[in-house]
Structure 1
Amino acid sequence: MIKLKSLFSIVLPFFLLLNCFGQKPPLEKSIKSTDSLDHAPWDILLKKYVDEHGNVDYAGFKKDTGLLDNYLDYLADNPIADTAEKEERLAYYINLYNAGTVHLILEHYPLKSIKDVFRPWGKDWVRIGSNMYSLGEVEHEMLRKMAEPRIHFAINCASYSCPKLLNEAYTASKIEEQLERATSHFINDPSKNKISRDGVELSKIFKWYRDDFTKVKSLIDYLNTYADSKISQDSDIDYLMYDWGLNEKR
């Protein structure tokens, strides 16, 4: 006769397995820790196919999809731990998001807009360790939870109104300077925002993610941290139409 304790030890794991079936395990339980990752392959591709304005040569990039696949596999096989330094995590997920977005476009190229792709941010196809995630999850569940609003100027959605795709990889050692540069460039880019002392027309990024920019200060205070033309506190804010056209040279 099986003792009750022995029966419990057999049945309990079965019920735990049923309870977890169909659910993604918590990220920190499915990843390993890493001190440093090599983003040089992504850096080489960016320098080769992205110009200083963020325009992407997708036709040329398509010839190197194998190298891009290798880089995404490298990131997938070396997932970053939640206990890693914030700079390492930011560089990992920003590069993963951007490389993943380029990969998505190349899979469907030629096309006019990322919105021509079915559920571009909702489909689980980005591998991290043994789990699959969507680009939306990388942005909202990983990057935004780091409470770093400047990520919105670093990740690129393959569209003209998005912040430009930097033609260099983000790295932990340079992440602070890179985020500052990307933020300042985007806010002061007249094709993204039209800023004067008494009138402001902003990218809809500031509307969609307003809460991320106003946890500590007002939106105008945040903008004035970087804006070349300072904005008065009583300025009216309007939002520009968002151009979802593909970010390649016109």
Structure 2
Amino acid sequence: MKKFLLSAGALLIIGIAFFAFNGCTLLSAAGLSSKGLSAKEAPRQLTSTTANSSVNLDHSGWTKLLQKYVDSNGDVNYKAFKNDRKELDKYLNMLSKNIPDNTWSVQEQLAYYINLYNAHTVALILDNYPLKSIKDLSGPWTKAIVPVGDVKMSLGGIENSILRKMNEPRIHFAINCASISCPKLLNEAYTARKINEQLDRVTREFINSDKNNIKEGSAQISSVFDWYKKDYLVHGVGSVREYVNQYSDIKIKEGATITFKDYNWNLNEQK
């Protein structure tokens, strides 16, 4: 019996490792934990507003860096970005000193956590540049490398334990894992003032981009729709097909064959 239990445990570990390796961000460094950080659930109809929040952070420093080093395709000039590392660190330190709590609006929280994830992903690449892929690094999504006040989060923890719990599936098209197949890195910071329009924009752009091949009778779509399938089934949406059709210029017919594209993990670097 002991031998069987050991074998089952080993298989579980192997299974988790495989899942984590093939998904973008699946487990935080200390398991699926928000470390006590506040994360409100987004309403069905999210609006953009700076009202009803005790804090309205200034993300303009991040916008300046993004507009300087990220092109319209979402590709990043990491080599040049390294020259502005002090400015990036200044922004990251500002985020660390501002800890989201329940007095923040859901709009402010969404903008904060998306920017936190994206900015620290860029920092991780810069710390290890040059490299071919983020997957060349050890535990890029499981190590606790993101300080927020007195706690440290992993990138996977931010995604899975905070952003995914906020019941807003469009976050999957806003966070960027520094890879070619990822939804593109928007070259402006997310803000509470524009959050709904920004999330709509990146979702629509991603679904109608070459990251998917959509036809009425069949569709090859990104693996993010496979990895996070349950996240899209909210607010009365019954299938991934229905979710995609909300944003796709070409509507996938009911009964159409849907498959998932292989993911290209090569670095999203400007050529």
TM-score, normalised by the number of residues in structure 1: 0.87
Cα distance in 2, alignment partners of residues 176 and 82 from structure 1:
20
2:268 to 231, 247, 250: 247
* Aligned AA (2:170): R
1:25, distance to aligned residue in structure 2 (A): 5.4
User: Which position in structure 2 is the counterpart of 1:229?
Assistant: 250
Cα distance in 2, alignment partners of residues 72 and 237 from structure 1:
40
* Aligned AA (1:244): W
User: Which position in structure 2 is the counterpart of 1:57?
Assistant: 77
Aligned 8 A contact 2:208 2:248 in 1:
yes
* Aligned AA (1:26): G
User: Which position in structure 1 is the counterpart of 2:37?
Assistant: 27
Cα distance in 2, alignment partners of residues 94 and 84 from structure 1:
15
2:164 to 136, 144, 148: 144
1:211 to 230, 236, 240: 230
1:82, distance to aligned residue in structure 2 (A): 3.3
Kindly indicate whether structure 1 or structure 2 has the higher relative contact order, using CA contacts under 8 Å at least 6 residues apart. Answer: 2
| SS across alignment from 2:144 | coil
Aligned 8 A contact 1:149 1:213 in 2:
yes
* Aligned AA (1:203): S
Cα distance in 2, alignment partners of residues 40 and 80 from structure 1:
18
Aligned 8 A contact 2:174 2:183 in 1:
yes
User: Which position in structure 2 is the counterpart of 1:193?
Assistant: 212
* Alpha-carbon distance change, 74 to 50 in structure 1, aligned in 2, over 3 angstroms: same
- Indicate the structure (1 or 2) with the bigger Cα radius of gyration: 1
* Aligned AA (2:256): S
1:26, distance to aligned residue in structure 2 (A): 2.2
1:118, distance to aligned residue in structure 2 (A): 0.5
Aligned 8 A contact 2:35 2:153 in 1:
no
Cα distance in 2, alignment partners of residues 24 and 159 from structure 1:
25
1:202 to 221, 229, 237: 221
2:134 to 100, 103, 114: 114
* Aligned AA (2:257): D
Structure 1: which 5+ runs fail to align? 1-22
* RMSD (CA atoms): 1.4
1:24, distance to aligned residue in structure 2 (A): 8.3
How many residues matched?
223
Which 4+ residue blocks in structure 1 deviate beyond 2 angstroms?
23-28
1:79, distance to aligned residue in structure 2 (A): 1.3
TM-score, normalised by the number of residues in structure 2: 0.80
Cα distance in 1, alignment partners of residues 57 and 140 from structure 2:
27
1:34, distance to aligned residue in structure 2 (A): 4.2
Q: Which shifted more, 73-82 or 47-56?
A: 73-82
1:27, distance to aligned residue in structure 2 (A): 2.4
1:83, distance to aligned residue in structure 2 (A): 3.7
